[in-house]
């Protein structure tokens, strides 16, 4: 996750506290990370990282995690 300077923060996620530079970026984050839809309900089986065992709601979230946490 890119570092956001405090004076650049326009919005914070009410669910996880992540900071964003714009309301638009916050809305995109909430839609991808926290939204419950018929296609991908939050109760669906999460995708687990085979290296650190963290779980993610989607395979794209897992791929992003792997790029940022497990690449050298």
What does the pLDDT look like over 34-48, one tens digit per residue? Answer: 776 555 555 566 788
Q: How far is CA 44 from CA 39, 50, 56, in A?
A: 10, 18, 11
The reply to whether 31 and 51 lie within a common domain is no
Residues 53 and 70 in one domain: yes
Q: Which domain holds residue 30?
A: 1-35
Q: Are residues 50 and 28 in the same domain?
A: no
- pLDDT reported for residue 30: 83
27 and 43 inside one domain: no
The predicted model scores a pTM of 0.44
Q: What is the pLDDT of residue 36?
A: 65
pLDDT tens for 7-63 read: 667 888 888 888 888 888 888 888 888 776 555 555 566 788 999 988 887 788 888
Q: Where are the alpha helices (DSSP H) in 1-72?
A: 23-33, 59-69
Check whether residue 29 and residue 55 sit in a common domain.
Answer: no
The residues, any chain, with a CB within 8 Å of residue 58's CB and separated by 6 or more, are: 32, 40, 47
Residue 11 sits in the same domain as residue 23? yes
Question: Using 50, 70 and 90 to split pLDDT, how confident is the model at 70?
Answer: very high
């Amino acid at each position: 996750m890119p570092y956001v300077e405090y004076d650049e923060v326009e919005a914070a996620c009410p669910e996880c506290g992540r900071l964003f530079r714009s309301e638009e970026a916050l809305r995109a984050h909430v839609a991808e990370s926290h939204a419950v839809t018929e296609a991908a309900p939050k109760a669906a089986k999460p995708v687990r990282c085979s290296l650190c065992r963290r779980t993610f709601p989607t395979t794209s979230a897992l791929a992003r995690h792997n790029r940022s946490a497990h690449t050298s």
